[in-house]
A and B are shown apart, each in its own frame.
Chain A
């Protein structure tokens, strides 16, 4: 016998409709978010070319985003290199190929782990700071005050941060890569006893200039994504301290997902260019 419907006792169909409704709403919210973020990004790109940027705001952003991130990014890079050495050494030693450790470490570093982990670290350090700073400006009406005096807030607040992230994040990624290479070499040669001549020789053979370029190319996109997402979250921050906190957290989460997504898309794209146009291909590490 069919169960009688009451508000307290919904049927299976009602439950399914409820679940479908929730999924639909969630999907709709994400599409709206993506649309608004895209409009915000286009507006930023328009203001990037519409009017020159104030040099003093550019320098201030350069110091906060670039210079102050240097110690943490160097530390991150060093540890990525050393951890890679720790994790890969036993596997290579088991098959008697520990002399080729440098090739595995350095190729992973410059092509993949260096850019992605550096960007993740910067999404936490720089992105969250941008979202919190702009979010505080929003809730204390400083963005309204800025608009009321004439300047466009996107031109004045977002464009300098966007430019600096585009320039500095690849620069910081180079630093992370360099420190990772040194960290990996130090750990492999000094502590694990790998022969330094073979270590560098196999590294040189495995890592092409294109690999370094591919890592840098990706980091430009990561930098742009971090800046746009963080600024958007700050500009659309809810009221109060809780709103600022949520904006900061969401900026990191969305930036992280975007970094992974871009990494996949750009990875495929760059490999295709390498194989199809440049006639390159995967080089054997071992």
Chain B
């Protein structure tokens, strides 16, 4: 509950911003207040993405507020990664809009979109480090995008600081990405995403393919990013343990191909701690990892 109160207090920093919601609540000191929200850090409205006449995302409506860490879960192919890439317009939506801090990304020209993107960090599934650059150059890259005249010594200090933050020593800076293990590459990817001090971090399956210890290290880094850097986060993951550990809120997507015409693709949207109590069979099956119905379908398909 303390987290919930903190979140409301954070949202109270209106500073004359437009009122988004007028909820009356009792604050920690017992006074009644009106909840005034800043625009969400990220908002998607009626988002649809279609590939080859097949919907991957259909009518998604979602708001992510400042300081929140949202986990998006769902089975493979339900559009989680597509959602993340659409959120920064690496994929253009077929319909609907994406707003970052109240700015509609579709209305921006190339240069404005580039500027907005420098305020967002993206941790890719396989780290996506630039092969032709050293680790240090990879981490320095986003810093140079926002401030190309950063002095070399300052750059080196910042790289060392970021490496230290992800549990690595500064001597790694001179090595090439190919020389690192998967876990190390992911941590470097994490450091690179944090380098430009983003307002929003997007994590694409950050613990996939890692051993349990390294997965926990990455979880811890995501929690530190939220707590120490006050970064809002969206984590796409299959890993329920990770989702429950790092997220305040969980959203579950369901594949469009398995939905009826009028059904919502979001089958769960609520606090991370309450997902186990969901009454929706699709949610409990995923959370508990039950393949029963899917195996039955496979058997029926084979017999047919």
Binding site for B on A (CB under 8 A): 60, 136-137, 140-142, 144-152
Contacts and interface: CB of A to CB of B under 8 A. Distances in A.
In the A-B complex, list the 8 residue pairs whose CB atoms are closest, starting with the nearest: A145-B128, A141-B128, A148-B122, A150-B114, A150-B118, A150-B145, A149-B142, A141-B124
Given A147-B90, A151-B145, A60 B132 contact: yes
Interface string B63-93: 0000000000000000000000100101000
Interface of B: 85, 88, 90, 110, 114-115, 117-118, 120, 122, 124-126, 128-132, 141-142, 145-146, 196
B142 A142 contact: no
A148 B132 contact: no
Contacts of B131: 136-137, 140, 142
Given A136-B131, A145-B130, 13 more contacts: A60-B132, A137-B131, A141-B124, A141-B126, A142-B131, A145-B128, A145-B129, A149-B117, A149-B118, A150-B114, A150-B115, A150-B146, A151-B114
A136 B124 CA distance: 15
A141 B123 CA distance: 11
B22 to A, nearest CB: 35
Nearest to A148: B122
Contacts of B128: 140-142, 144-145
A150 B142 contact: yes
A152 B114 contact: yes
Nearest to B124: A141
A149 B90 CA distance: 11
A54 to B, nearest CB: 9
Contacts of B142: 149-150
Nearest to B202: A148
Contacts of B130: 142, 145-146
Contacts of A141: 124-126, 128
Contacts of B126: 140-141
Nearest to B131: A142
Contacts of B110: 152
A142 B125 CA distance: 11
A104 B132 CA distance: 46
A60 B126 CA distance: 25
Nearest to A144: B90
Contacts of B90: 144, 147-148
A184 to B, nearest CB: 39
B117 A147 contact: yes
B177 to A, nearest CB: 10
Most chain B CB inside 10 Å of its own CB: which residue of A137, A140, A148: A148
Contacts of A152: 110, 114
Contacts of A142: 128-131
A149 B132 contact: no
5 contacts: A141-B128, A144-B122, A147-B90, A150-B114, A150-B115
Nearest to A149: B142
A145 B117 contact: no
A150 B117 contact: yes
Nearest to B189: A145
A4 B125 CA distance: 58
A144 B145 contact: no
Contacts of B125: 141
A107 B131 CA distance: 45
Nearest to B137: A56
Contacts of B120: 148
A193 to B, nearest CB: 52
A79 to B, nearest CB: 33
B115 A148 contact: no
A142 B141 CA distance: 13
A262 B130 CA distance: 35
A40 to B, nearest CB: 15
Contacts of A136: 131
Contacts of B88: 148
Contacts of B85: 144
Contacts of B115: 150
A51 to B, nearest CB: 9
A149 B141 contact: yes
Given A150-B145, A152-B110, A145 B122 contact: yes
A141 B114 CA distance: 17
Nearest to A43: B110
A150 B118 CA distance: 5
A61 to B, nearest CB: 11
B51 to A, nearest CB: 13
Nearest to B116: A150
Given A60-B132, A142-B131, A149 B145 contact: yes
Contacts of A144: 85, 90, 122, 124, 128
A137 B130 CA distance: 8
A248 B138 CA distance: 26
B3 to A, nearest CB: 29
A142 B132 CA distance: 11
A220 to B, nearest CB: 27
